[in-house]
Structure formats: C-alpha cells, structure tokens
Chain A
Amino acid sequence: GAVVSQHPSWVICKSGTSVKIECRSLDFQATTMFWYRQFPKQSLMLMATSNEGSKATYEQGVEKDKFLINHASLTLSTLTVTSAHPEDSSFYICSATEPGSLLETQYFGPGTRLLVL
C-alpha cells in the first residue's frame, strides 16, 4: 500500500530557530500533499495544500511566512517552521494523495512532534 514517511519523528529546538520537516511518499508519486497540525487531545487542522511545482495554498489564519512549504518533487514536500516559538509546539502531520485513486485518498505520515523551548 501507499506509504508516507516523515522526518524527523520528533524535534526539540530553542525559541527563535527554524525547523524543517520532511514528508515523503515512498512508493508513489504524490502530486498533492497536505500539512496538518494537531494540538494535544484535539483534531487535525489543515494548514496548507501543497502541489508539486507550485506555491502552496494556505488555510485562513495560517501565516505563510511562518510556515514555509516547498514541494519540489513528486515525492517530497517540506514544512519549515521559521523563528519557532513555544506556541508552535505541536504535532505536525502530512498526507499525500495518490493520483488516479478514487477521491485521491489521502495517506498520512506518522507525524512529527515539535517542542519549542
């Protein structure tokens, strides 16, 4: 089946630093990838939709200069949290859609837990 990986699985950083999270589709080419964030005991909130070779589309209220998304290839999308602050601490999950599948089913990565000190 379609597998999506994320790296790193967890990261601790100091306030003010930038953190890059990678999302890879391992056995299929993903034209579209999604980035979500999930606070403890809460649901997933869509942050942005990333299409290969074009600019990401951000959801309302998500700062595009804060959360930089790059989808440079059909198997890799990156999310960079710039100048991270403690309130950015969260669980970040990506998903990827397999072109041609019914409704382009989303396959989710295992998530990256970010802790900003």
Chain B
Amino acid sequence: RKEVEQDPGPFNVPEGATVAFNCTYSNSASQSFFWYRQDCRKEPKLLMSVYSSGNEDGRFTAQLNRASQYISLLIRDSKLSDSATYLCVVNIAGNTPLVFGKGTRLSVIA
C-alpha cells in the first residue's frame, strides 16, 4: 500500500463547479498534513495546511479525519486559474521528509 494515495484523476470541470479531492495515508503516526499545488513544469507550492478541526481559505476548504486517515480538499466556484495538479502531502514529524501523493490533475474548462 502506498503511503499517500490520491484520486487518480484527471478531473475536468466547468467554471463555477465545485470539485473535491480525496486522499488517504497509511502511517497513523503522521502529524502534519498539507495540500500543495503544482502548475505544469513548475515546482510544488504550498496551498494550505490541513488541521483536525478543518480549515478554510476563501474558496478552498480542507478537512482531516485522523480516525479514517483521510484528507480532503474542496474547491468551490472553480476558476480557470485553478487548473493544476493538487498534491496531498503528509509529514510524520519535524525534520522528517514530506511524503507526497501522486497528485490529481484538475482542468477547469470555460
């Protein structure tokens, strides 16, 4: 079983749609959780951290369920500029490496 698994995608959605990405992780000792965004041929950039209580940043909402070892990202009112690959990332502790999922590609269509 892979350490971090994501929806295989790609997701093709019209502008204005709501889209949800799911992710599961295998290591129950994981402590920190993130969503990164990666544009084509660019480096990953932190989109948001994910907290147990859930957190929201504008149109983006992230949720964490530690019991199910499940993380989600919801994007409301999709924009063309949201087109990218979304990477689910888990960290066990402190200076340990980030563990990335394979990513899910999103294409928002006009």
* Pair from one complex: no
Chain A positions near chain B (C-beta within 8 angstroms): none
Chain B positions near chain A (C-beta within 8 angstroms): none
